[in-house]
Structure 1
């Protein structure tokens, strides 16, 4: 509607100019010089009207655009003296300015709100230019946790803590790492995580760090309690009979005046000493096993096809499976699925899981083991499933503890070893089980 009225006004002014021009030209042709000269002011007035109307609108629009360009929302046009289309234009521009003011206030309020949250959380946060190292922002928690005041460039950490600086620069997006941070005379464990984000063509690195000393200490304490309970149980199982048997033999060897039988049966003595020897050797093997559990070599990671690992495992385990009449199903929908892994260590994990599965299905009427692999989210997942009796929920949390075993002849090392190997691969191992239906072990790489 505004454009239509504006167009009509411009057309009217042009027609008026043409009319005045035609009359002046006609007067000069008819040699009515004074009438022609008298018409010139009207002709000038018509041109001035058109120029003024166009320039006024352009000036208002250009002023408005310039103000918006520099985020200046203070301009408010006076509409009291304006008329017609100009007044409507000014009212419209004022409405747009008011809307920008509202949006700007909301953005500032949101920014203050978020910054207040980031300043009050107990997690240290720092953002810096990934190319120049210039600090964009850091919160108070970062300064408090690191005991480092504000600095302008991440490179300033070189003199204070070069190892910390190296980790901040090299930590890949999505990765987390625990770092021992020296603070005065104390070492604190910091969990450090990094991510990248791009704004206005500039790539920034956002690093968060959290003091996890107390959490790790508590977790470590619980783990030690579980381990010591199992180790105490294993040691007492050997020490108690050794102590009892040694006491019995001691009494048999005591002089007759102490009330003991002076007639010693050599066979009983030999049997007792042999039993003590066996239990002592068992304790020695227990100690050696524990020592070896902590000597797993660092994995040599390389890209390997899951199908190759499955083929090697099947060739190794098939004779045992055939002997025990156990059905093995291998499911691999993507024959080119690969993982970054140490082949020998991963095969060791799968052999342990397959051995456990073979033991689990021995009482099943139709024993079956399924070996499969797929992509779960962004990670490769290898599964070993069986249709055995399952693992009771009461002991499910203990199966990865060293030396814990549900089998009489088990040493409780297998699953603990599997977990350590998966941790070395930056992956994890999980177990899902339902009594009477079976168990599934999942390896995420």
Structure 2
């Protein structure tokens, strides 16, 4: 039995009623009084039975709609010992109630889950009705940040701290904005944003409050630690070749003192070494001063120099340091008269970093080789490149190579390439990194 068969039964009853009514009228007009009266009585009885039948079913439907109106889906309709059509109604109502109860249960679970998540985050969140000020929902972080007890209306904040009330609830912050608020006679920095939304005919405002005071203090502390680490790393990169070259020169002087006749002292070589030490020391001092604050490196001490002279100084500096690493370091220059306008001290620091990176990249290569070359391109731009035959640069980290403090080295600072790019930007140039098809990588300084 289905709802369709129930409707069919009602339709048949109506047909019978119409037939009886027609017969009664026909007999009445034919003056068949007895038959007409009898048919009329049957008609009245049938109409009454039909009315009872329909009323009973409408009562059942009306009772269900009343439950829906008051959102009472807990009722269970007993379908046993009922007529087939009533039983079908009850079974249908029970199915609807069960589905609604399941949906409500899932919604409640999702709400509790979301509420638990919002309670665990350390960002204050509050939603309230704009007209009445009634708090719709608020998590513990919001009260903890303001050091307020739980409240049901934002008027509590107005009476407790009018200044905080004005900053948080009166003003509109479409984008996260850093402000300072006074809490318990102390000033804290918070990141504040809010948005307005509407549900039905009611308007609500969502306020997000993030206490960034601790975060800023922690970030500042970490920045100082990284800065000290970076400074140490960069200074060591310059001191190491100076120390190696000084030891080499000292060893030559000692040998000469022990046996002056056999071991002659090369004055030109000694002078070149000492000049390299002097220049690099001056560059290190300038670098230490300018690096105290990278944002202050806004001007350069530019001068026109021969790239050959720059390469000669770098070769003297790096030769002794790379001697024990068995890395072939070669400087190539097609045109010895090639000039460039640079800040020599800062640019030497950049090239030293690139050479040391290249040396590390080919540590596991059978015949490690690093080439430093300079050429003038047909478009007039000057290019200085550091090329190695190492393992190359993984594609997944190429986009992060210039991010400050990003490094794949155990003892790296992650600032070398970032600083090199900044120095190249000040020179009006750029730095590029490419993997070579055969093997290794190429870092180009384009002026």
- What TM-score does the superposition give when structure 2 sets the normalisation length? 0.52
Distance 1:167 1:290 in 2: 42
Residues 21-420 of structure 1: pairs in structure 2 closer than 5 A: 21-80=21-80, 82-128=82-128, 135-149=135-149, 150=151, 152-153=153-154, 156=157, 159-161=162-164, 164-165=167-168, 169-172=172-175, 176-192=176-192, 199-200=199-200, 204-229=204-229, 287=289, 290=292, 293-294=295-296, 324-325=376-377, 358-359=383-384, 361=385, 363=387, 393=409, 395=412, 397-399=414-416, 414=423
Contact 2:147 2:183 in 1 (8 A): yes
- For each residue in 1:363-404, what CA deviation from the matched residue of structure 2 results, as whole angstroms up to 9, or x when unmatched? 589xxxxxxxxxxxxxxxxx9999xxxx98454612378xx6
2:235 touches 2:284 (CA, 8 Å); kept in 1?
no
CA gap 1:103/1:178 in 2 versus in 1, 3 angstroms: same
> Cα distance, 1:68 vs. partner?
2.1
Partner of 2:262: none
1:162 shift after superposition: 5.9
* Alignment of 1:7 onto 2:7: yes
Deviations 1:8-41 (A, max 9, x none): 3123212321332233234423434244323332
Quick one: distance in 1 between partners of 2:166 and 2:30?
99
Q: Who wins on radius of gyration, i.e. which is larger? A: 2
- Separation of aligned partners in 2, 1:326 and 1:384: 31
Contact 1:125 1:142 in 2 (8 A): yes
In the alignment, the residues of structure 2 paired with residue 399 and residue 235 of structure 1 have an alpha-carbon distance, to the nearest angstrom, of 11
SS of equivalent residue, structure 1 residue 6: helix
> Shift of residue 139 of structure 1?
1.1
Check the 8 A contact 1:123/1:210 in 2, yes or no: yes
RMSD over equivalenced CA pairs, Å? 5.2
Looking at structure 1, the residues matched to 209 and 90 of structure 2 have their Cα atoms a distance apart, in angstroms, of 52
Q: Which residue pairs with 2:17 in the alignment?
A: 17
Report SS of the residue matched to 2:208. Answer: strand
2:178/2:190 contact within 8 Å kept: yes
Distance change in 2, residues 1:40/1:231 (3 Å): same
The Cα of 1:119 is off from its aligned counterpart by: 3.0
Unaligned residue ranges in structure 1 (runs of 5+): 242-274, 297-318, 329-353, 366-382, 406-411, 419-430
1:80 deviates by 4.0
Structure 2: distance between partners of 1:282 and 1:211: 41
Check whether the contact 1:400–1:415 (CA below 8 A) recurs between aligned residues. no
Name 1:300's counterpart in structure 2: none
SS in 2 for 1:182: strand
Q: CA deviation at 1:143?
A: 0.5
In structure 1, distance between residues paired with 2:433 and 2:156? 47
Match of 1:377 in 2: none
Shift of 1:96: 1.2
Q: Helix, strand or coil: the match of 2:172?
A: helix
Deviations 1:275-309 (A, max 9, x none): 99x9899868965775783598xxxxxxxxxxxxx
Q: Please, what TM-score do these two structures have when normalized by structure 1?
A: 0.53
Contact 1:128–1:154, Cα closer than 8 Å, also in 2: no
CA distance in 2, matches of 1:119, 1:392: 37
Cα offset, 1:44, TM superposition = 0.8
The 1-side partners of 2:177 and 2:100 are apart by 44
Q: In structure 1, the residue corresponding to 2:45 is in which secondary structure?
A: helix
Residues in 1 aligned to 2:294 and 2:416: alpha-carbon distance in whole angstroms: 19
Give the Å deviation of 1:200: 4.6
Q: Give, in angstroms, the shift of residue 75 of structure 1.
A: 4.0
Are 1:437 and 2:441 an aligned pair?
Answer: yes
CA contact (8 A) 1:130 1:205 kept: yes
Task: Check 1:432–1:16 CA distance in 2 against 1; reply closer, same or farther (3 A cut).
Answer: farther
| 3-state SS in 2 of match to 1:397 | coil
CA contact (8 A) 1:192 1:208 kept: yes
Q: Distance in 1 between matches of 2:194 and 2:136?
A: 15
CA shift in 2, pair 1:52/1:283, >3 Å: same
- How far the C-alpha of 1:126 sits from its partner, in A, is 1.3
